[in-house]
A and B are shown apart, each in its own frame.
Chain A
Amino acid sequence: MLKINNLTVQVSNKKILENFNLEIKKGEIHALMGPNGAGKSTISKVLMRDLTYQISCGTITYNDEDLLKMNTTEVAKKGFFMVSQNPVEIAGITNAEMLRTALHDAGKNDLNILEFNRKMVAICEKLNLPSSFIHREINYNMSGGEKKKNELLHLWMLEPEFIILDEIDSGLDVDALKTVANSLLEYYQQFQPAILIITHQKSLLDILKPQYVHILGNRTIEENGDYSLAEEIFKHGFTRTHIMSESDKDE
């Protein structure tokens, strides 16, 4: 289980999150919503141990282990996996090369090359991707939709237990969004991971149906609820509860 207690995060002496608390158990889907600039993406970077974000106060534990003492590799090895809204392109490294290295470093290289390829082909089919994606360079020269599906190809291969989806619905057309969301739903039903969805769009939540919804404003979680809270936000907007980030106020 993930427990975030009293967390304060800052970048270059500017507080982004303050007194932030959140608990996520295995098999739970949580949505973190909030206006632009509220710091939603910050929490995904903090969990993945991006050291640009300094922790000045608070704790994060995962299955009673101190996450803040881990580096990014160690967090990923614990089963964390983040899909960001604009995944990095790396020329020259193929998906297969990267995944084989990742599986090897995680001590999960029990698949021989044929089984590995067979599994990759099956996942590509599931994601409506040509099998040539196995040997495509990581996200290089891919459209926005292809990049997200490519990240899901990695997800299915690495089988994480804690998934962070950071605004992955941005830039996806209707069909790509359905494919991505349905694939995530299938993964959820099969493996029961914990999922944290960061978004302010409706479509992804309509398919994944989070059991818990949190509204971020003024650098902390200001409201908690179930899926009906998200529906209310979609209907009336964030201003209905007078939640507004400091940056929005300044504007």
Chain B
Amino acid sequence: MIKMNKIIVKENKLILENTEILITDFENSDCTFHVYNNVKCGIFSLPKTTDFTIYIHEGAHFTLEFYGNLCNHNCNITIYNEDYSQLDFHISSKFTSDNTIKIENKIKASNTKVNILVRTVEENGTLNILAEGIIAEKTQNNEYLEDIRAITNNNNHIRIMPNLLVKSNSVKANHNATISNIKDEELFYLTGKGISKESAKELIKSGFLQSILKIEELKMGGEE
């Protein structure tokens, strides 16, 4: 895997083909990704305002993972898929202050697979997530999953809006949104092994965030 401390993309266009890349600091607020073949991209840090457009070209498989902290972030991500493409998009983040994530995916192609998984943990802040998936008419054999979960101390601080509009009959589509506190049974289990309540809470939160990550180097990079 190629490791980069910082990436600045010229003319806001990043072409990725058959590569694995780990980016510590993504500088561009505005960037268009073009993805060919198999690409894995892990990102630790995003600019406060992020406007990403992602084109996953025919037959490509793109794994995009973000594992870091959100603080006053406003992220807009628009995804376009071509036939036989696959996207695994995972956002795993603690958040403070006020944040917004908007993911928009209009699927006009066929035989695509999309997995959008989001895991967030409230530290002390607010988060609005809008995940909008539209499966267009006359498309076939698409699989689409949106699964967004958050751990919070106060449910008022998180708003999740998973919108899924399916206009085709030939699709497997699923969406889920959950906001919950740390489960008492998990806390009891870990404290029953002699772990302090505070350490147990931290373990549960970090496990929750890491549970969706596939890029090992990203997991091992840990939190800031």
Partners in one complex: yes
What mask results when residues 193 to 221 of chain B are scored 1 for a CB within 8 Å of chain A, else 0?
11111011001101111110000000000
Asked if residues A98 and B195 are in contact (CB atoms below 8 Å), the reply is yes
Asked if residues B194 and A92 are in contact (CB atoms below 8 Å), the reply is no
Task: Kindly state the separation between the CA atoms of A48 and B187 in the bound complex, as whole angstroms.
Answer: 12
Return A4 CB to nearest CB of chain B, in Å: 19
Asked whether B168 is an interface residue with its Cβ less than 8 Å from the other chain, the reply is: no
Asked whether B123 is an interface residue with its Cβ less than 8 Å from the other chain, the reply is: no
Return A89 CB to nearest CB of chain B, in Å: 9
Which of the residues A82, A91, A102 comes within 8 Å of B208, measured between beta carbons? A91
Asked if residues B207 and A158 are in contact (CB atoms below 8 Å), the reply is no
Asked if residues B197 and A71 are in contact (CB atoms below 8 Å), the reply is yes
Asked if residues A76 and B192 are in contact (CB atoms below 8 Å), the reply is yes
Closest-by-CB residue of A relative to B208 is A92
Asked if residues A98 and B193 are in contact (CB atoms below 8 Å), the reply is yes
Contacts of B49 in A (CB 8 A): none
Asked whether A73 is an interface residue with its Cβ less than 8 Å from the other chain, the reply is: yes
A-B contact pairs, 14 of them (CB 8 A): A50-B188, A73-B200, A75-B192, A81-B192, A82-B192, A87-B189, A90-B189, A90-B190, A90-B207, A102-B193, A102-B195, A105-B195, A105-B196, A138-B189
Closest-by-CB residue of B relative to A94 is B207
Return A86 CB to nearest CB of chain B, in Å: 10
Which of the residues B186, B192, B199, B207 comes within 8 Å of A137, measured between beta carbons? B207
Residue in B188, B193, B204, B207 with the greatest tally of chain A CB atoms within 10 Å: B193
Contacts of B189 in A (CB 8 A): 87-88, 90, 138
Q: What's the interface size class on A, roughly?
A: 20 to 34
Return B145 CB to nearest CB of chain A, in Å: 17
Asked if residues A101 and B186 are in contact (CB atoms below 8 Å), the reply is no
Asked if residues A73 and B197 are in contact (CB atoms below 8 Å), the reply is yes
Task: Kindly state the separation between the CA atoms of A88 and B188 in the bound complex, as whole angstroms.
Answer: 10
Return A15 CB to nearest CB of chain B, in Å: 22
Return A94 CB to nearest CB of chain B, in Å: 8
Taking CB atoms and an 8 Å cut-off, the chain A residues in 142-161 that contact chain B are: 154, 158
Closest-by-CB residue of B relative to A48 is B192
Asked whether B191 is an interface residue with its Cβ less than 8 Å from the other chain, the reply is: yes
Given contacts A88-B189, A92-B209, A92-B210, whether A73 and B196 have CB atoms under 8 Å apart is: yes
Interface on B for A, CB 8 Å cutoff?
Answer: 185-186, 188-197, 199-200, 203-204, 206-211
Closest-by-CB residue of A relative to B189 is A88
Interface on A for B, CB 8 Å cutoff?
Answer: 48, 50, 71-73, 75-77, 80-82, 87-88, 90-93, 97-99, 101-102, 105-106, 137-138, 154, 158
Which of the residues B185, B192, B195, B209 comes within 8 Å of A101, measured between beta carbons? B195
Asked if residues A76 and B203 are in contact (CB atoms below 8 Å), the reply is no
Contacts of A105 in B (CB 8 A): 194-196, 199
Asked if residues B207 and A91 are in contact (CB atoms below 8 Å), the reply is yes
Q: A71-B197, A90-B189 are in contact. List 19 more A-B contacts (CB 8 A).
A: A48-B192, A75-B192, A76-B193, A80-B192, A87-B189, A88-B185, A88-B188, A90-B186, A92-B206, A93-B206, A97-B203, A98-B190, A99-B193, A102-B193, A105-B195, A105-B196, A105-B199, A137-B211, A138-B189
Contacts of B195 in A (CB 8 A): 73, 76, 98, 101-102, 105
Asked if residues B207 and A154 are in contact (CB atoms below 8 Å), the reply is no
Contacts of A91 in B (CB 8 A): 207-208, 211
Which of the residues A73, A93, A97 comes within 8 Å of B191, measured between beta carbons? A73
Asked if residues B194 and A102 are in contact (CB atoms below 8 Å), the reply is yes
Task: Kindly state the separation between the CA atoms of A98 and B185 in the bound complex, as whole angstroms.
Answer: 15
Contacts of A137 in B (CB 8 A): 207, 211
Return A150 CB to nearest CB of chain B, in Å: 12
Contacts of A81 in B (CB 8 A): 192-193
Task: Kindly state the separation between the CA atoms of A81 and B195 in the bound complex, as whole angstroms.
Answer: 12
Contacts of B190 in A (CB 8 A): 90, 98
Contacts of B209 in A (CB 8 A): 92
Return A77 CB to nearest CB of chain B, in Å: 5
Task: Kindly state the separation between the CA atoms of A154 and B190 in the bound complex, as whole angstroms.
Answer: 11
Return B50 CB to nearest CB of chain A, in Å: 25
Which of the residues B192, B203, B206, B207 comes within 8 Å of A72, measured between beta carbons? B192
